[in-house]
A and B are shown apart, each in its own frame.
Chain A
Amino acid sequence: MVPKTKWALPLLFAATLAAQQRPQQPTPKSPAAAERYAALQAEQKKLTEEWMAKVKAMSAEAEAAKKDGKPMPAMPMRPDTSAIGKQALAAAKEMTDGDDAVPFLLMVVNADRSAAADALSLLGDKYADHPATAQIGPMIGFLPRIVGEDKAPAIAEKFARSGNADVRGWAVFAKHEKTIETADREGDAYQGAKSELVKVAELAASADLKDRVRQAIDTREKYGVGIVAPDIEGTDLDGVAFKLSDYRGKVVFLDFWGDW
């Protein structure tokens, strides 16, 4: 038997990867709104930089404490940007043009969790069709965590009715992701979710969304439990070519690992 020491908790990079793929944040069109936006953004940047400096100082302290066997210093608190979020929400409410309002609403979601539900509701009610709203697409799946289980479904539904193919696509993806992951592949629930997803992916412009839909379906149908795995042909760390199928006849423990 393998010793029953606990495996390290899986280090999940999905969130980091999603963050890397996030395109440039849109900025308001009208000069007055753009100026207001830039001021809030500068304030946010300043707070973040101050916090980063504290984190850096703390790491240095931690190094020293480790050497001297002293207790570790506490991690500095993340900056409180809720005031910025509230100002951004107030600004968005004064505006009527999506080109101006949407960037402020997106800012609220990042800066102030307590105002996120209001901002996302407004976004869904008035600007669901606006192209910049597609920015929140990947977040729709996390709505329960952002605004709470109680408010999430109603907000998601607003995006699911959007005239923008990407916004709608992300909302449909969020709705069906679990079904694709877990439902019986031969069953109606799975087949229905799949055909709806294939349709929204076709209509969507977002390469990210198309990828996620394809991967979710492939994970079940090409690389899921019960499926004969497609071969891997590659080279090992010394550059020698080999194939996964070289190991047929043996049980294979395929481990996607990295040293990072």
Chain B
Amino acid sequence: MYPHERSLVEEMKDKPFALIGVNSDKEIARAKKAVADNNLNWRSFHAGPEGTRGPIPKAWAVQGWPTIVVLDADGRIQYRGHDGDAATKVAEDLVGKLTAGK
């Protein structure tokens, strides 16, 4: 996964786009090590010491990892699921519409 997310962030760096993580590792140290070891270039919320059962995944009813949710510029959910390619396509289309004519 990491290389795809990394290159998505890289590709979109001058566009109205943000990749935001919700890291669901119980130990924050583990997440930080993953960030350092893999040069992860996006910001993440930490889901807390309960990990996958922490308040954010729980409220969002996330039951499988990874889950990806794509929000448009108004915060409206446009994709929810586990397919990184499909999510990327939705995000790219939204960014395309947002930047058209600019």
Contacts and interface: CB of A to CB of B under 8 A. Distances in A.
Interface of A: 1-8, 10-14, 17, 215-216, 218-219, 223-230, 232, 234-237, 242, 244-245, 247-260
A7 B76 CA distance: 25
A254 B24 contact: no
B77 A253 contact: no
Contacts of A232: 22, 45, 56
Q: Provide the main secondary structure of the chain B interface.
A: mixed
Contact of A234 (B8, B46, B66, B69): B46
A245 B22 CA distance: 14
Given A6-B85, A251-B98, A258-B25, 7 more contacts: A229-B71, A237-B23, A251-B16, A252-B18, A256-B65, A259-B25, A259-B34
Contact of B71 (A7, A215, A254, A259): A254
A98 B85 CA distance: 50
Interface of B: 1, 3-5, 7-8, 11, 16-25, 28, 30-35, 42-46, 51-53, 56-57, 59-80, 82-85, 87-88, 91-92, 94-95, 98
Contacts of B63: 12-14, 17, 215
Given A253-B91, A257-B1, A218 B61 contact: yes
Contact of B8 (A2, A17, A248): A2
Q: Provide the main secondary structure of the chain A interface.
A: loop
Given A7-B1, A13-B52, A248-B74, A256 B57 contact: yes
Contacts, number: 187
A154 B28 CA distance: 48
Contacts of B33: 259
Contacts of B25: 258-260
A232 B57 CA distance: 11
A237 B19 contact: no
A5, A228, A237 interface centre (most CB from chain B within 10 Å): A237
25 contacts: A2-B92, A8-B1, A10-B66, A12-B63, A12-B64, A17-B53, A215-B61, A223-B69, A225-B79, A228-B75, A232-B56, A234-B46, A237-B31, A251-B73, A251-B95, A253-B18, A255-B19, A255-B68, A256-B21, A256-B22, A256-B65, A257-B44, A258-B52, A258-B66, A259-B30
